[in-house]
Amino acid sequence: MLRRLAKGQIRDGRLREMVDRVNHLTTGGYEAIDANGAVLMPLLERVVARSKEKEEWHLYFYAMAQLLWLSLRERDTRRAFRVSEIFHQDYAHHVGEEVNPSGWHWRIYAASLILSFYVGFWQIDDAKLQQMLGLLLDYEGRYGDSWNYAADGYYMLWMATAGRDKELAEAARGRLLKADYRKWSYIFFYGASMICYYAMHEDFGGIEETISGIIGKTVPLNYQWCYNHKKIANEEWLVNQALESCLKYGSRALFVQIFGRWKKIYQEAPKGELGTFQVLFHELAGEWGQGEDRLRVAEKDDQDARGGREVPLDSLYWALCWRCYFGMLDQRGVKTVNLRLGDGPGNAAGAKWENGEKPDLAADNTQEWQALEAARYFERQADGIGAQMDKARKQFHYARVKQNFEECFLNAGT
């Protein structure tokens, strides 16, 4: 995880030992990182603290960026916010201004990561978002180059689409076109970004061309290593990005056009683990297998939302997915389901029971729900987050997002 820094660049012996331990724990790639995440995060925090104490700024910002990335991967948002506040303090006090070019690369990447997860929290209002964007642009203007443009463009586009800001989207696209993807996945940072950009502009041709080009392996030779990432180097993953972008920021008409073009993908049983959006795409295509597994995904999304283990904006989108999914089940005649949600049927966590008394639930809290009750449960969850997002972001417009989901799924045949 810290291998891009030569050991000879680290003066402090204790820091060299800590970096060696980080690298040992991450030998083996993502599998090792996921297995050791709980140990790595506090270890990286100690690297960050000691490198600041010893003024080893090249390591300081490298470790900070990796700590932010890992905190988000591990869904430890409290830690990510804590590190972000340190980053803001560093900016205010001009800490580490003398860092070398490599250190600046990682410092700017850390800023783009902070911007990206700020977008998903209603606790961060428009003013705070603009402040963070200004900080990123300041650093990028002074010290950034094509190495930074991939991540900067990708995360700026997140902000642009959430706020329906086409001017910022153009600025993000300009960076993506100039970026160096030798160290960044071209499919993930460029492909997914441009699909989102074209969805924002309701450009079906641009989406189709981007997907066809990546599947046809027209990616520049220097960047073709990205095809080693099998999870995203496939047609379904790219189409998922297009459909999800339509639901969040696009239109029903574009969604229908894209779904019609690639519907066959979702008519076949899924080969791997299903994500929340994919459950709906398969349901819409008439592929109804693995019903019990899909209910377990709904339960997990509910638990994560109530436990604060997901970015609120993601929880909002997933709650809208399940509101539509259970409505779709009811439409095709599935009237009841067995679920563990909140405190019990028809109630969000902390809600009052209609009869004033909480019933004696089974140990695992599994209850039979009416499909429409489950739909209303998730609708309330989404409405609660949506109201907060509307207060924080002038351009979010939750009612429009909700209507788009419902039109694409519940009114798909009308």
pLDDT in tens, 368-391: 999 999 999 999 999 999 999 999
Buried b / exposed e over 212-224, threshold 16 CB at 10 Å, is eebeeeebeeebe
Cα–Cα dist 401/398, whole Å:
5
Across residues 147-168, what is the average pLDDT? 92
Compute the mean pLDDT over every residue in the chain, rounded to the nearest whole number. Answer: 91
Amino acid identity for residue 204 in this structure: F
Across residues 359-363, what is the average pLDDT? 39
∠ CA 174-178-183, nearest 5°, is 125
- C-alpha distances out from residue 382 to 143, 204, 249, 272, 325, Å: 40, 29, 16, 27, 14
**Per residue in 263-289, pLDDT tens?**
999 999 988 888 999 999 999 999 998
pLDDT in the model for residue 30: 87
Buried b / exposed e over 141-153, threshold 16 CB at 10 Å, is eebbeebbbbbbb
164: which DSSP letter?
T
Whether the per-residue pLDDT at 47 is higher than 70: the answer is: yes
pLDDT in the model for residue 358: 37
Buried b / exposed e over 374-383, threshold 16 CB at 10 Å, is bbbbbbbbbb
pLDDT band per the 50, 70, 90 thresholds, residue 102: confident
The set of residues, in sequence order, having a beta carbon less than 8 Å from that of 78 and lying 6+ positions away, is: none
DSSP letter for each residue of 192-215:
HHHHHHHHHTT-HHHHHHHHHHHH
Whether the per-residue pLDDT at 353 is higher than 80: the answer is: no
pLDDT band per the 50, 70, 90 thresholds, residue 29: confident
Query: Whole-model pTM?
Result: 0.90
Whether the per-residue pLDDT at 348 is higher than 60: the answer is: no
